[in-house]
Structure 1
């Protein structure tokens, strides 16, 4: 996979996110890989909350995508990075819609530096398990493996009285810094989490733009912190057996069913 033609903020945002998904899946030993410049895909079911495929450009071929995915296992999902797929006739429904976001390096933030949180990077498997439990709100399931910790991925913990109450994941890829899994609990707020994440990103990788995706109130909060929405995305979740569109002819219907495993 190359980073050619990354001349707009949208393409680096999409590729950065796909590379983080790739890192998480490879940490679980899954056979995930990139298919030229149009698709990232795992042929085995991915960990919870992670897609089985991510489109990297508009107009991704739906049949080629579905034929190679494990659509028989519960929870199969597709991150439709340009919101241009139609998978309803294949047993999928829209899980959510969101907007890719981009923040140029040095953009002003609307944070609360006096929030009282102490920020640091997670170091080691024990701290990562505590971070995941705080992010999950209940317990660590081993979703994030210690092998992820390194020069290009960092998990940030905002602590109050020694307890993790806020955090985010950062990854450097495609020339930009991606922010994901941002959370805030108890009396910490999302503004404080964004302030901590952006400060850490600027300190660790100065001069880099920051990208991610958000929706609803979280999108409004990101905009307050200097982000701009740059394009829609959609996540599809397989919820039923493959159904047929009424306008599909019988011969084509058989061919499509055969190609879907």
Structure 2
């Protein structure tokens, strides 16, 4: 039987692979090693410069691998066990890794979800994800050919909910879930599409606050804390 700590590790690995995919489309080369994923150059906005993959990753080794001189440098401490305060970081936020076994959702889906298949549709997806503000090209077309799946639900011709699914060897990671309506219903629709595309695979991700409550309402289980640190000098 897989333990909660092992599920947290699987979720962290999947998330690091997703971060690596985003960085590659921005011309950045990340590196897996020493219990972490890291990028020597500053990553795109909202994406960490390092993600720990094991609880025993070295804080000093991690910081030596990233660019703390550039504003916005951050670290995803996947097991909430690093002390980065002496190294010039402060906690930005905390969350919980979540895991869900395959199966039907408790709440019926009210919207039909589908895949974004063309690069021409990505800007509209990013604008909807960004609360109607025009996107900056954070999500680039290369992601569509890199195994990543952008999911969207439409109403009257516009995107009203969406998420990103990142399949791995043994799990599917879901991130960036957004909706203009009920979050539990959005999870229901998203999970139904994920189950159709990857039947039998568990789903992982991370959430906090009310978004965590909504995920738990759709069958997710919290499996361990994570902490994101921001370098402040």
Q: Same fold (TM over 0.5)?
A: yes
1:212 to 180, 205, 214: 205
1:99-114 equivalent positions in 2, closer than 5 A:
99-106=96-103, 108-113=104-109
* Bigger Cα Rg: 1
Deviations 1:8-29 (A, max 9, x none): 3222111111100110001111
1:194-246 alpha-carbon deviations (Å, 9 max, x no partner): 0121011100010000000011111111111010000010000112x2xxxxx
Distance in structure 1 (CA, Å) of the matches to 2:204 and 2:17: 13
Determine the C-alpha separation between the residues in 1 that align with 2:185 and 2:25: 30
Distance 1:145 1:77 in 2: 21
1:7 to 1:91, Cα distance in 2 relative to 1, 3 A: closer
State the alpha-carbon separation in 1 of the partners of residues 80 and 16 from structure 2: 15
Classify the secondary structure of the residue corresponding to 1:234.
strand
Any residues of structure 2 matched to 1:84-123 within 5 Å, and which? 84-106=81-103, 108-113=104-109, 115=110, 117-123=111-117
What TM-score, normalized by structure 1, do the two folds share?
A: 0.84
Which runs of no fewer than 5 residues in structure 2 stay unpaired? Answer: none
User: Counterpart of 2:54?
Assistant: 57
* Cα pair 2:21 2:146 within 8 Å, conserved: no
Aligned to 1:255: none
Shift of 1:168: 0.3
Q: Distance in 2 between matches of 1:64 and 1:58?
A: 13
Give yes or no for the alignment of 1:67 onto 2:64: yes
Q: Could you report, residue by residue, the CA deviation over 1:101-120 in whole angstroms, capped at 9, with x for unpaired residues?
A: 000111x423242x3x3321
Which residue pairs with 2:19 in the alignment? Answer: 21
- Secondary structure at the aligned position of 2:20 is classed as helix
Shift of 1:7: 8.9
Structure 1: gaps (5+ residues): 1-5, 242-261
Aligned match of 1:251: none
Structure 1 runs of 4+ aligned residues shifted over 3 Å read none
How far off its partner does 1:152 sit? 2.6
126, 133, 136: which one aligns with 1:132: 126
TM-score, normalization by structure 2: 0.94
